[in-house]
Structure 1
Amino acid sequence: MHNDSHFQPFWFSEALKQESDNTVNVLKDDIQTDVCIVGGGYTGLWTAIQLKQQQPELDIVIIDKGLCGSGASGRNGGCMLTWSTKYSSMKKLYGEEEAVKLVRASERAVYEIADFCETHNINADLRLNGTLYTATNKAQQGSMDGVLDQLSKHEVNSWQQWQRERVQQDAGSALHCEGIYSPAAASVQPALLARGLKRIAEGMGIKIYENTPMENISTEIPITITTPEADIFTKKVVLALNAWMLEQFPQFKRNVVLVSSDMAITQPIPDKLHTMGLKDGKTVIDSRIFVHYYRSTSDGRLMLGKGGNYFSFGNKISKVFDSPSRYTALLRQSFNKLFPSLEKEKFAATWTGASDRSTTGLPFFGYLNDNPDIVYGLGYSGNGVAQTWIGGQILSSLVLEQDNEWSKCGLVSGPKGSFPPEPIRWCGAMMVRDAIRRKESAEDNDKAPFWLDKQLAKFANAAGKADKA
């Protein structure tokens, strides 16, 4: 049976309600396999599917410590965005040619996922209506100009400037004073996508065991993964644990910061949204460092999220990440400011997601302790809904030992850079977070921020925005 006794984020509980068969397969007997994937979220599922598509004879097993998609995959904002806005940092890290390739790949991923859902009948409320990046105060205006110029130079610019009136109309809020639009983006019910991928994977013959946590991994040959009731003997391992990677592999503790993204959703109010101009599944993102993002659903709900609130000390996955948001007051304040006409609308639910933010704001892939038979990927930094498709391409290429564009991709470099050790890291994060809040509040009120707050905010800006989770 599905375990419903503990808190489940809104999307995930909605997705489970739609499943007619709620039996959970737990691993109880020792097994042998070609590939064992640890983690049944987007990264693990895409990797399994892409492996099976290429080599149908491969025996593949996925294990998850909870239910597939119950981590970040089933509780994010459902904004399928690309890496085009991160072009500058990718160019700095991997060079011009690779950055252009990654922008193209991330845009392709949006369409590939949409096609996959259509072909395989995954009804995940995926709507290919693009995204609007906006400014909500004078200080944010023009912040994308430099990136857009570079994208245009390489003919990979899918963005267009919209007139202010059109931005306000389509975004359903008069707070936006500028906006650029790209069609290469979508919104999706994230848990329905994760559960849909699980169903397709099982249909392809991939064995999935839920409520089956990895307790230990022995890297002798054959590699042995110990679970509470059985051992798995495998030739290859894919570690697709994302934020949970840090609990078992402390060597990554300083390469990512676990930070919350908090979300709220209304009851269905389709008529009101239609009147406001929110007529489709377009995602809307502002230009803050701790970004606001929102979108409507096809049943007429409005979801708003805000990044960069809770920073976990020592990167512990604490209870904060598994309960209603402790920042509901902050969400409410932002919601009322963006949508004054909806001030009286109560939130149907709030929840929190753990985002594994890397030093670069981009994911990284590699071999665990240089072992060619154990590959991993993490650090999507709150921008992974579409990018996990790329993660699956990279990890499946590494497993199959292919020499191709994915295995040679710039992201296959292991972690780049590290954060300072605790408690310096956490204290620093708090100082930067509070400085950003003061700076953005001053800018909202058309005031000049303090010099020191601006300098501290640059630390966050260096790694790009605290994206969606």
Structure 2
Amino acid sequence: MDRSGDESPAVNGRVSFWYAQTGLPEPRPALPGDADADVCIVGGGYTGLWTAYYLKKADPGLRITVLERRFCGYGASGRNGGWLYNGFAGRSAFARRYGAGPAAAMQRVMDEAVGEVADTVAAERIEADLVRGGVLEVARTPAQLARLQAFATAERSFGADRIRLLTAAETGERIRIAGTLGGTWTPYGARVQPAKLARGLAEVVAGLGVRVHERTPVTAVEPGGAGRRARAVTPHGTVTADHVLRATEGFTAGLRGERRTWLPMNSAMIATEPLPESFWARTGWAGREVLGDFAHAYMYAQRTADDRIALGGRGVPYRYGSRTDADGTTQPATVRQLREILDSFFPAAAGARIDHAWAGVLGVPRDWCATVDLDRASGLGWAGGYVGSGVTTANLAGRTLRDLVLGRDTELTRLPWVGHRVRRWEPEPLRWLGVHALYAAYHAADRQESTGRATGSPLARLADAISGRH
């Protein structure tokens, strides 16, 4: 393995490694002018595509239009870590606010959503490199181990058999990671190739008769009322519809009036060259589990279909004024940080070349809780704020928006995230200062804990309290 070229491995203009594998799709035609629809969906990522899919399946006669700024899957849907798993943003907060029963119901449907995505991908013949290997999370410091054990206890409160608490030796039977003290494994997880999933889903949706217009940025979403229908405004024309659904996640701040709704948090990834069989014989990872840890500034990883390690974490967490990135470009310092994590977890990969590096944005509400809703009076709906857990949550959002649009009273529409309200983020410069201070505290806490501190850092507890993260 050769480490040459390590300092600047980004595939510029390719958005992510996942698109370097598949090639960028040729965008579909832009909106040709003013149009009318029953449902207009703003955003061609997982949320928008799943919503269109389930609506069209439920009512084939619906006239549905999807508007996408670049191409379907351009944002987080084509750049994420490929974790199809059952975590969702805000479970603890929902339990405190709405009660243990509603939070348990939310967790159960998230568990089921992993299988729903896997089954639908198979039924629609979408080739997405999906392997249901579960989720393995590890602790490598005493403080992380304490958090891991508390997490396992909380998970078991939703069902005794939903998670396994592993010793260091048992963890190593799955993946041999340097310094592991213990782990957890749950079957509610799968590895996917994110861009393949987004592209395949877009093709299925278009094949069902949904009008998909790419290269069509939406500049404003306008409510209906008093005999006026809702509208999505673009430079190419305006789509008027009974319902306009916002599915823009980390790019929501770019819409008029939405700059402080959700904060666009940056996450970055690297992918190694394909690693030789000798590495995998030493490391294991035969089950293709998705991998995470219990650091405050946590990492996430997968073994790709072509035997690379794709690994991510927070680099520069936020850009001033809620600005978003330029086509996935990430900073050399972030690449070095991720390289250090890779080498720490897998010393045998220390000589591996980094072939790709990229970044993307995810939506973070002020209370770190995902939401979905539809206001029937204005005709406006939305879903998002997934805080990095969107691969599965977007599917649940699509099915929930389907039921809300069709006026159904179902188990999904009664979940606690439906209609959940949260205050807006602070104005600048407070927003920038607060987020950067938050992640500085988390990184400092991780450094403290790496020295063997047995209990969690006060810095991290203070950061959690200020952010509303837990």
Instruction: Report what 1:95 is aligned to.
Output: 99
CA contact (8 A) 2:67 2:216 kept: yes
d(CA) in 2 for partners of 1:216, 1:108: 35
Instruction: Report what 1:114 is aligned to.
Output: 118
Letter in 1 for 2:439: R
Rate the CA distance shift 1:449–1:51 in 2: closer, same or farther, 3 A: same
Q: Does 1:81 align with 2:85?
A: yes
Task: Choose 232-241 or 377-386, whichever is displaced more.
Answer: 232-241
SS at 1:435's partner residue? Answer: helix
Instruction: Report Cα offsets for 1:286-336 as digits up to 9, x if no partner.
Output: 0012111111012111111113642222222243x6313440111111111
SS at 2:414's partner residue? Answer: coil
SS at 1:141's partner residue? Answer: helix
How far is the alpha carbon of 1:85 from its aligned partner? 9.2
Instruction: Report what 2:384 is aligned to.
Output: 378
d(CA) in 2 for partners of 1:57, 1:231: 22
d(CA) in 1 for partners of 2:372, 2:223: 19
Instruction: Report Cα offsets for 1:323-377 as digits up to 9, x if no partner.
Output: 1344011111111111111111111100011121223333112346x74411011
Structure 1 residue runs without a partner (length 5+): 465-469
Rate the CA distance shift 1:46–1:156 in 2: closer, same or farther, 3 A: farther
CA contact (8 A) 1:262 1:325 kept: no
How far is the alpha carbon of 1:448 from its aligned partner? 7.4
d(CA) in 2 for partners of 1:191, 1:96: 36
Rate the CA distance shift 1:462–1:288 in 2: closer, same or farther, 3 A: farther
Task: Choose 220-229 or 195-204, whichever is displaced more.
Answer: 220-229
d(CA) in 2 for partners of 1:10, 1:450: 35
Q: Among 262, 277, 282, which residue is 1:275 paired with?
A: 282
Instruction: Report Cα offsets for 1:395-448 as digits up to 9, x if no partner.
Output: 112211222222222112243244433222321222222122112112112247
Rate the CA distance shift 1:23–1:456 in 2: closer, same or farther, 3 A: closer
Q: Does 1:241 align with 2:248?
A: yes
Letter in 1 for 2:274: P
Instruction: Report Cα offsets for 1:39-92 as digits up to 9, x if no partner.
Output: 000000000011011111111111101000001100001111213796433311
d(CA) in 2 for partners of 1:92, 1:61: 38
Instruction: Report what 1:351 is aligned to.
Output: 358
Instruction: Report what 1:453 is aligned to.
Output: 459
1:433-448 matched pairs, under 5 angstroms: 433-447=439-453
Q: Among 34, 44, 58, which residue is 1:54 paired with?
A: 58
CA contact (8 A) 2:448 2:457 kept: no
SS at 2:110's partner residue? Answer: helix
Rate the CA distance shift 1:325–1:263 in 2: closer, same or farther, 3 A: farther
Letter in 2 for 1:400: L
Structure 2 residue runs without a partner (length 5+): 1-10
Instruction: Report what 1:467 is aligned to.
Output: none
How far is the alpha carbon of 1:94 from its aligned partner? 2.5
Rate the CA distance shift 1:211–1:33 in 2: closer, same or farther, 3 A: same
d(CA) in 1 for partners of 2:200, 2:47: 14
Instruction: Report what 2:147 is aligned to.
Output: 143
1:404-423 matched pairs, under 5 angstroms: 404-423=410-429
Task: Choose 201-210 or 24-33, whichever is displaced more.
Answer: 24-33
1:61-76 matched pairs, under 5 angstroms: 61-76=65-80
Rate the CA distance shift 1:435–1:23 in 2: closer, same or farther, 3 A: closer
Q: Does 1:392 align with 2:398?
A: yes
CA contact (8 A) 2:142 2:455 kept: no
d(CA) in 2 for partners of 1:84, 1:165: 29
Rate the CA distance shift 1:262–1:460 in 2: closer, same or farther, 3 A: farther
State the Cα RMSD in Å: 2.4
Q: Which has the higher contact order (CA 8 A, sep 6+)?
A: 2
d(CA) in 2 for partners of 1:48, 1:450: 44
What's the TM-score, normalizing by structure 1? 0.90
Q: Does 1:199 align with 2:203?
A: yes
How far is the alpha carbon of 1:452 from its aligned partner? 5.8
How far is the alpha carbon of 1:219 from its aligned partner? 3.4
Q: Does 1:165 align with 2:169?
A: yes
Task: Choose 287-296 or 86-95, whichever is displaced more.
Answer: 86-95
Instruction: Report Cα offsets for 1:229-286 as digits up to 9, x if no partner.
Output: 2332222111111111112143x44443222111000111141224311223201110
Give the share of equivalent positions with the same residue, in percent. Answer: 27
Q: How many pairs were matched up?
A: 455
Q: Among 186, 190, 194, which residue is 2:190 paired with?
A: 186
Q: Among 223, 229, 235, which residue is 1:222 paired with?
A: 229
SS at 1:6's partner residue? Answer: coil
Q: Among 258, 263, 288, which residue is 1:257 paired with?
A: 263
Rate the CA distance shift 1:84–1:216 in 2: closer, same or farther, 3 A: closer
Instruction: Report Cα offsets for 1:69-122 as digits up to 9, x if no partner.
Output: 001100001111213796433311321111111111111111111101111110
CA contact (8 A) 2:445 2:457 kept: no
SS at 2:132's partner residue? Answer: coil
Instruction: Report what 2:130 is aligned to.
Output: 126
Letter in 2 for 1:29: G
Rate the CA distance shift 1:461–1:143 in 2: closer, same or farther, 3 A: farther
Rate the CA distance shift 1:96–1:454 in 2: closer, same or farther, 3 A: closer
How far is the alpha carbon of 1:195 from its aligned partner? 0.5
